[in-house]
């Protein structure tokens, strides 16, 4: 659906690079998770994809067409749900939907049908004539989602659509997104909640400092041999002298009396070499796991674990 080649985005003077030669393909019909720490470039990339922010250089194709030369047409096929609330709090949900449907240029003959669809999808039936300012956080997020669907998009881009809401509303939104994908809508989804991305996404890209670190099908990435770790759980305590011996022989990520983590492209030679050492120590292996346990583990291994605080000025 999107083909991104050598994409660069810079701001200011001297120029600050926010997106650094991004290469990325987003398949049609997928649910694509875009992950990264604070300030990594996720929102900037989304803004370029939906035609709100011009690129500095590079190319972005939407369904084979350059977005720079077809902005109006492409905007008509893409829905965008921003992280901030994008509606008028003094208006009711219905008034907001009517206003944004007209602003999007939705033909009047289609407005009622599409607004009714958006109301059902976002679960707003019981609140449609209430002012948005009185909505709970979950209802506000759902109204945001409804507005993003008004133009009947082929692609729906969501920037952290579940931040700060209760578990029931979060679950409702995730189920709604999954259902929209089943109807043929390609989803691009950013979130800091890794379990959400694992739950609904089939593809993912991790971006940091404006660069794509890794991209592909989630399950394939979690099993990727050049990134994976061999985790060995021991049934009894490993003597200190053997800890030192293992540290000297292997590329140790972490080790203590009961657990060893080794970065490994191929786990079998390591297991073969580790076995005699553990036998000499009179220690048995209780459990072995190869690969990343989950997406969060992979994310932290690629982006490091130091804090990425940011301040809006």
Task: Dig out the tokens for 313 from the structure.
Answer: 């000025």
* Model pLDDT, residue 71: 79
Q: Please state, rounded to an integer, the average pLDDT across all residues of the chain.
A: 90
d(CA 80, CA 281): 59
| Beta partners for residue 2, in sequence order | 26, 62
**Does residue 39 or residue 204 have the better pLDDT?**
204
pLDDT score recorded for residue 129: 96
Q: Which of 8-17, 115-124, 284-293 has the lowest mean pLDDT?
A: 284-293
Kindly state the average pLDDT of the residues 261-274: 86
Region 174-200: mean pLDDT is 94
Tell me what the mean pLDDT of segment 57-81 comes to: 88
Query: Looking at residue 47, what is its pLDDT?
Result: 92
Confidence of residue 68 (pLDDT cuts 50, 70, 90): confident
- Higher pLDDT pick, 161 / 222: 161
Please, which pLDDT band fits residue 221 given cuts at 50, 70 and 90? confident
pLDDT for 64 equals: 87
Helices (H) and strands (E) in the chain, counts: 11, 14
- Cβ–Cβ under 8 Å, residues 206 and 25: no
What predicted TM-score, i.e. pTM, was given to this entire model? 0.80
Confidence of residue 141 (pLDDT cuts 50, 70, 90): very high
How do residues 78-105 score in pLDDT, each as one tens digit?
Answer: 999 999 999 999 999 999 999 999 998 8
Give residue 181's pLDDT. 97
Least confident of 109-113, 147-151, 223-227: 223-227
Report strand pairing: 78-81 vs 65-66: unpaired
Residue 187 has pLDDT above 80, yes or no: yes
Domains of the chain with bracketed CATH: 2-217 (3.40.50.300), 229-290 (no CATH)
**% residues pLDDT > 70 (the chain):** 95
Q: What is the pLDDT of residue 311?
A: 45
Q: How confident is the model at residue 313 (pLDDT cuts 50, 70, 90)?
A: very low
The CA distance from 92 to 127, in Å, is 8
Q: How far apart are CA 111 and CA 95, in angstroms?
A: 12
**What is the pLDDT, as a whole number, of residue 306?**
63
How far apart are the C-alpha atoms of 99 and 201, rounded to whole Å?
Answer: 32
Mean pLDDT of 174-190: 96
Asked if pLDDT for residue 308 goes beyond 70, the answer is no
Checking if the pLDDT of 17 tops 50, the result is yes
Tokens found for residue 154: 């082929």
**Residue 280 to residues 11, 84, 86, 233, 275: CA-CA distances in angstroms?**
60, 60, 65, 17, 9
Q: Hunting for tokens 């996720």 — which residue is that?
A: 42
Residue 310: its pLDDT value, please? Answer: 58
What sign does the CA torsion over 187, 189, 193, 197 have?
A: positive
Question: What was the pLDDT predicted at 260?
Answer: 93
């Amino acid at each position: 659906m999107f083909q991104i080649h050598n994409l660069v985005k810079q701001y200011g003077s001297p120029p600050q690079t926010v997106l650094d030669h991004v290469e990325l393909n987003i398949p049609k019909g997928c649910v694509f998770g875009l992950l990264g720490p604070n300030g990594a470039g996720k929102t900037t990339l989304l803004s370029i994809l939906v035609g709100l922010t011009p690129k500095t250089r590079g190319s972005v194709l939407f369904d084979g067409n350059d977005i720079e030369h077809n902005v109006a047409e492409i905007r008509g096929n893409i829905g965008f749900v921003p992280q901030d609330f994008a509606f008028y709090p003094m208006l009711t949900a219905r008034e907001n939907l009517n206003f944004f449907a007209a602003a999007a240029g939705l033909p009047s003959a289609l407005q009622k049908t599409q607004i009714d669809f958006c109301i059902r999808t976002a679960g707003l039936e019981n609140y449609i004539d209430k002012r948005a300012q009185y909505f709970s956080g979950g209802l506000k997020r759902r109204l945001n989602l409804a507005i993003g669907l008004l133009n009947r998009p082929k692609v729906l881009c969501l920037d952290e659509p579940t931040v700060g809401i209760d578990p029931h509303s979060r679950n409702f939104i995730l189920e709604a997104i999954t259902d929209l994908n089943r109807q043929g809508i390609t989803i691009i989804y950013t979130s800091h909640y890794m379990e959400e991305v694992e739950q609904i996404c089939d593809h993912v890209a991790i971006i940091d400092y404006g660069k794509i670190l890794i991209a592909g099908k989630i399950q394939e990435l979690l099993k990727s041999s050049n990134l994976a770790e061999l985790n060995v759980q021991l049934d009894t305590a490993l003597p200190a002298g053997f800890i030192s011996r293992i540290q000297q022989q292997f590329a140790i990520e972490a080790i203590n009396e009961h657990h060893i983590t080794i970065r490994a492209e191929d786990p079998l030679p390591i297991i073969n070499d580790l076995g005699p050492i553990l036998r000499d120590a009179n220690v048995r292996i209780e459990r072995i796991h190869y690969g990343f346990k989950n997406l969060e583990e992979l994310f932290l291994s690629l982006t490091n674990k130091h804090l990425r605080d940011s301040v809006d000025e």
